[in-house]
Structure 1
Amino acid sequence: MNYEVIITCAVTGAGDTRGRSPHVPVTPKEIADAAIEAAKAGAAIAHIHVRDPETGKASRDPKLFKEVVDRVRDSGTDVVINLTAGMGGDWVPDADNPAMPGPGTDMISADDRLIHIKQCLPEICSLDCGTLNFGDGDNIYISTPPTLRHMAQKVREWGVKPEMEVFELGHIRFARQMVKEGLIADPPMFQICLGIPWGADQSVDTLKVMKDHLPQDASWAGFGISRMQMPMAAAVVAMGGNVRVGLEDNLMLDRGVLATNGQLVTRVVEIIERMGGRAVTAQEARTKLKLRGGDS
């Protein structure tokens, strides 16, 4: 059981979800306001993607990331900033010639995936630790060992903690290898991602197996998606982990009731407190995770 829980709120994500909920933030102001809302509700960490303000689609424009980060920092709200570094790994084979990229492909170099990280210097950035089929279409997320090693080395030089997102056991196996090679600062930080097609299923059994394969000194969190967000949050806390909620992973508060990010954080705080624990502050999270700005 974890009695001092770090809550991350993933406020918007990259999926085509704005059409399903008006609460999904799109503009830099909306995304920054969502991060602030989540922090005031009890989240210690805000996990941030950005979107094209005109279309609502996922974006990796460094200017948008910079505006969001500046707005959050200028607000005076204390929250750990965690920026995605996962954009730019999408491969969709062409229907007529699978050797060539088709519509929807967005493949860039490891350095290009980190441009906004270098500019903004968040405390944390995500590091998706392997390749994965996303959904039932032809979309493949590609993250190769050389790419991951290069990204891990660069963010360590900048003092940014990589949150190693793992979607199946092979991802944990490679993440452990990066730890062994000295590319990841102690304590290594893992996010167990459950329920994304076609990664690991969201069940207590799967969570325990993946948790048991983490390094003993690792800091770890986990999440489920959609209606399993809160049940998996409870399971994660019971197994000793930290939790992630937010509109990136789930749009609903209750059946038929659309959620805001703040409402999802409030709900998981209630769950944690009823289990006998508490949500830690942003500064406490920095100390526990040994982030830049944390107490030694």
Structure 2
Amino acid sequence: MNTEVFITCAVTGAGDTAGKSEHVPVTPEQIAASAIDAVKAGAAIAHIHVRDPGTGKGSRDPKLYAEVVDRVRSSGVDVVLNLTAGMGGDLVLGGTDKPLPLDDAGTDMAGAAERLVHVEELLPEICTLDCGSMNFAAGGDYVMTNTPDMLRAMAKRIQAAGVKPELEVFDFGHMVMVRDLIAEGLIDDPAMIQLCMGIPYGAPDDPATLLTLAGQVPPGSVFSAFSIGRMQLPYVAMAALAGGNVRVGLEDNIYLSRGVLASNAMLVERAVTILEAMNARVLGPEEVRAKLGLKKRW
């Protein structure tokens, strides 16, 4: 069991949740405010996506990221910022009979440089790197697409920028990619890994699968684990028991309990309660920087 645990709050994500809960932040002002509230509740890391303020849909507009980051950094609240770099790998085929041409409305494929514009401009302490492709979530013709060459190119740019990549692992094959990136010198020690569980069609979130995947984490690495929906809060305990750290937030789950909509701060508060009841100590931002070898950016 990990007895010194940090909490990441995934503040908003890019999924179709903004219309399902008034607590899901959409505008840069709302996203920054929700991140700050989550930190005050006990999160050390804020994982940030942005959304189009007009539609509520996920966006990768660098100007939206810049506004969120500026609002958080100017707030006086200490937090480790973690910006997503997952946008730009969205492939939607045209259908089962005619996969090509692609569905232009859903497809958003961008090169390594374009996917990292906001990271290289804003220099957060952490950014995500999805370590493989998969048939993601609801099915249909959508594929989350991250080829080995794309991942190597992105890893090189992230390393050159002095940003720590959070290596997102959705299934066992993704851990092979993690090991390759480490072996090729593209990931600085200690590697930071996020085990993303329970997302169709990746690794299921049963305890046996979690423990097996956690057992594949390379020595010396720091890892967190989370699941989605109703399993998010049970995974606070499961992740710590497996030796990892914790992620909660409205990106992955919008409920505190059955029928009770949560805010990010409420989910973090519940995570703190669970961990402290297990006699685990919740780490603050400076302790996380020391653990991960990060330097404060402002």
Letter in 2 for 1:45: I
User: Match for 1:131 among 125, 130, 133?
Assistant: 133
1:57-206 maps to which residues of 2 (within 5 A)? 57-95=57-95, 97-102=98-103, 103-134=105-136, 135-206=138-209
Which TM-score applies when normalising by structure 1?
0.98
Aligned to 2:18: 18
Aligned to 1:273: 276
Aligned to 2:217: 214
Query: What runs of 5+ residues in structure 1 fail to find an aligned partner?
Result: none
Secondary structure at the residue paired with 2:276? helix
How many residues align? The count is 294
Aligned to 2:258: 255
Is residue 22 of structure 2 the alignment partner of residue 9 of structure 1?
no
C-alpha offsets along residues 192-222 of structure 1, whole Å, 9 cap, x if unaligned?
0001111111111111111111101110000
Aligned to 2:231: 228
Percentage of pairs with the same residue:
57
Query: What runs of 5+ residues in structure 2 fail to find an aligned partner?
Result: none
Give the distance between the partners of 2:166 and 2:87, measured in 1 at CA: 15
Secondary structure at the residue paired with 1:19? coil
Secondary structure at the residue paired with 2:233? helix
Letter in 2 for 1:120: L
Deviation at 1:2, TM superposition (A): 1.0
Secondary structure at the residue paired with 2:272? helix
Which TM-score applies when normalising by structure 2?
0.97
CA RMSD of aligned residues (A): 1.0
CA contact (8 A) 1:159 1:292 kept: no
List 4+ stretches of structure 1 deviating above 3 A. none
